[in-house]
Structure 1
Amino acid sequence: MSEEQDPKAVQRNPSSSVPPSTTPTKVAGEISSNGGNSSNAGWEQKIRYPNRPDITNPDPATLRDQWRFAIRQYSKWYSHAWGTAILAGISFFALGWIVKGSNPLPSKKDEHPPPSPSSADNR
């Protein structure tokens, strides 16, 4: 018996039993960057995505856990961003106070200049 007629040989080499027309042309998670244009076949690059999307949607409990985790992460990043912005504002205000030697905000002056005599004559 030859290998082509031996059923055990087919089990040992399953790729020989698959006709070439049914083999997939692209592996799941690969996309060619030339958009299907075969004129640049030499320049074709395959992009592999390490975290491919799931084939089916996960169960509701998993989605709920993922959503809660995402909300916690966003809340943490949001509060860190606000805390950093407030700290930077206070630091720059303090730096301006040190450099100027007084309140760096001109609208917050404590003393108003005395009115000039020319403005009193115009009344």
Structure 2
Amino acid sequence: MTENNPKTHYPSSGGIPSPSDDGPKKLPGKQKMHFNPPEKEIPDAATLRDQWRYAIRQYSKWYSHAWGTAILAGTAFFALGWFIKGENPIPSFNSNKDKDKDNHNSHP
């Protein structure tokens, strides 16, 4: 397991920068401080498994949110098109095909 390193600096805000904070600072004569310092050694298998499961859950959540948003936006734009046009806005699904054929045939 890893030991606490007294030289490692952790911000008092718990790693979350404040709105006025511009990010990690480079102090004169010191190394750049990181909010989330890199691991000194490879984590054990249980930690990696937990991190992997967390990453999968986050990805799944973002993926489903993206699809939900896309479907909602598509439905909203379809409804808006229907409202503006007064009928089905997709020409390939137009229910007036027979009427259009008759109108085109009647005109020379």
Asked whether the two chains share a fold, i.e. TM above 0.5, the reply is yes
Unaligned stretches of 5+ residues in structure 2: 1-6, 10-23
Q: Which residue of 2 aligns with 1:105?
A: 90
Q: Which has the higher contact order (CA 8 A, sep 6+)?
A: 2
Residue 116 (str. 1) matches residue 101 (str. 2): no
Query: Where is the helix percentage greater, Structure 1 or Structure 2?
Result: 1
Aligned-partner Cα distance in 2 for 1:92–1:103: 12
Q: Identity, % of aligned pairs?
A: 55
Note the residue ranges of structure 1 that are not aligned, 5 or more in a row: 1-26, 33-43
For 2:45, the equivalent position in structure 1 comes to: 60
Number of aligned residue pairs: 83
Residue in structure 2 matching 1:70, options 48, 55, 76? 55
Counterpart CA distance in 2 for 1:85 and 1:101 is: 24
Alignment of 1:49 with 2:38, yes or no, is: no
Once the 2 structures are TM-superposed, how far is the Cα of residue 28 of structure 1 from its aligned partner?
7.1
Query: How large is the RMSD of aligned CA atoms in angstroms?
Result: 2.9
- How far apart are 1:47 and its partner, in Å? 3.6
Q: What whole-Å deviation, never above 9, does each CA across 1:65-106 have from its counterpart, x for those lacking one?
A: 110010000000000000000000000100111111111111
User: Which protein has the larger Cα radius of gyration, Structure 1 or Structure 2?
Assistant: 1
Q: Report the TM-score when normalising by structure 2.
A: 0.64
More strand by share: 1
Secondary structure of the structure 1 residue equivalent to 2:41 = coil
- Please give the TM-score of this superposition, normalised by the length of structure 1: 0.56
